[in-house]
Amino acid sequence: MRGEKYIKAVVITLACVVACYLIFSVTRFSGDSYSVYKAVLYEVGDGLTTSGFLVRSELVLDNHATGIVVLNRSEGEKVGRGQTVAATYRDEAAKSRQARIDELEAELAQMRYASDFSSSDLETATLDTDILRLVNQVTVAASRRDYATANSSAEELKPYALRRYLTSSDLEVLSSRISAVEGRLNELYAAAESESGSITAPVSGYFSSVTDGYEALLTPAFLETATVSALDKYTGLVSQDTGAIGKLVTSQKWYFAAIVPSESVSELRVGSRIDVNFADDFYGTVRMKIERISPPEKERCILVLSSESYIQSAVSARTETADLVFSTLSGLRVPKTAIYVNEAGESGVYVLVGAEARWKSIHILTDYGDSYIVELDKSSTSNLWPEDEIILTTEEIFNGKVLLK
């Protein structure tokens, strides 16, 4: 009997202890006010935003023609030496005649293609493959803003589409139409021979119809020795009417030159590369090489960058605003108000795990306004990870504290 009474007394005592602990926990922790912030992966860049000049090797194409000049090259299009960049016409009638010649030549090419093939299942399958290929080329070129390639592929697509839907019964009519178009073209050729001409490229290059009068002043050679004051005089420049029909950019390599605070580029080195995001004309980030950092002048210097990509986007504009990204840093973004320092001098945060606060040490990489970017250390699950719920509270907090809403 005494043993049973002893066991009952122990059980009652333990029950009382547990009840007291629960009451103590609820009364101590239930009044805590807190919120959580999920740790997110974040990338920040060190750099600056500036305006500068696009500089290229350029050859101006002077207009010595009389009458009407019509350009037949698009911006950024590659032109070979001796190839036509513009057509010249004596008057509007001659211009209209040439436009009609172009239309009939395109029509004739399509009809000849359609006439040269006989209809068969094999041919139909091949045509479908070619049509899909060309449609894809048009789509990809347009998405890259390479409109010259897109237009070329679209023109190439036309005869394929015509042949795909032409039946054998149409071939006789098509043959008659080909003869009529050929006869009309011969008449137009004879009339246009003395009324039109062409302007050709003296060297190969990338064509642009835009000239501003600074092609012989802002040159790659100028950037090699230019001082801050020498480049600064072109700030706010106004384009001049040169009367030229356009220009040829004669080198694949182009430059971006900007006057920047000397302190902001003190860590950069000639020969290294940085990312540049231009505000206009360019699609995506341009990786550029640091060609030169000029001697400082009144705490400013010239930063000269170069690239051999995106030349088609760089042939026209003279001034551009750009974000220069010197370096990028990725980590977890953590509010400053969530960071504590323990007795060992380690920085860390408290993360909500179930209903408890768990300490996780952190390594701060950089200051980011009201937050820090901290290292994402994947070597252990005990480190801070993306989506961890970081506790934000003004109340007392410690490792293992129970937080109840």
Model confidence pLDDT, tens digit, residues 231-256: 999 998 888 888 899 999 999 999 99
Tell me the CA distances in angstroms from 334 to 32, 160, 398, one per residue in order.
21, 59, 18
The reported pLDDT for the residue numbered 281 is 77
C-alpha 353/C-alpha 356 separation (Å) is 5
Phi, psi (degrees; rounded to nearest 5) at 17: -60, -45
Which is it for the CA torsion 312, 318, 322, 324, positive or negative?
A: positive
Answer yes or no: are the C-beta atoms of 30 and 24 closer than 8 Å. Answer: no
**Which of 56-60, 114-118, 138-142 has the least mean pLDDT?**
114-118
The two structure tokens encoding residue 42: 């974040």
The two structure tokens encoding residue 100: 């009609």
C-alpha 33/C-alpha 273 separation (Å) is 49
The two structure tokens encoding residue 91: 């008057």
Tell me the CA distances in angstroms from 83 to 65, 67, 77, 248, one per residue in order.
17, 21, 12, 12
C-alpha 165/C-alpha 128 separation (Å) is 11
Which helix (H) or strand (E) segment is 8 a member of? Answer: helix 2-29
| Burial class for 314, CB neighbours closer than 10 Å (0-12, 13-18, 19+) | buried
Q: Is residue 97 pLDDT above 70, yes or no?
A: yes
> How would residue 54 be classed by pLDDT, with cut points 50, 70 and 90?
very high
**Which of 37-41, 176-180, 343-347, 375-379 has the least mean pLDDT?**
176-180
The reported pLDDT for the residue numbered 105 is 85
Q: Return the bridge partners of 300, or none.
A: 261, 297
C-alpha 355/C-alpha 36 separation (Å) is 12
3-state secondary structure 99-166: HHHHHHHHHHHHHHHHHCCCCCHHHHHHHHHHHHHHHHHHHHHHHCCCHHHHHHHHHHHHHHHHHHCC
Report the residue count for the chain.
405
Which residue ranges form the domains of the chain, and what is each CATH number? 48-60+211-326 (2.40.30.170)
> How would residue 68 be classed by pLDDT, with cut points 50, 70 and 90?
confident
Answer yes or no: are the C-beta atoms of 291 and 255 closer than 8 Å. Answer: yes
pLDDT, average across residues 137-147: 80
The two structure tokens encoding residue 113: 């293609």
Share of the chain above pLDDT 90, in %: 47
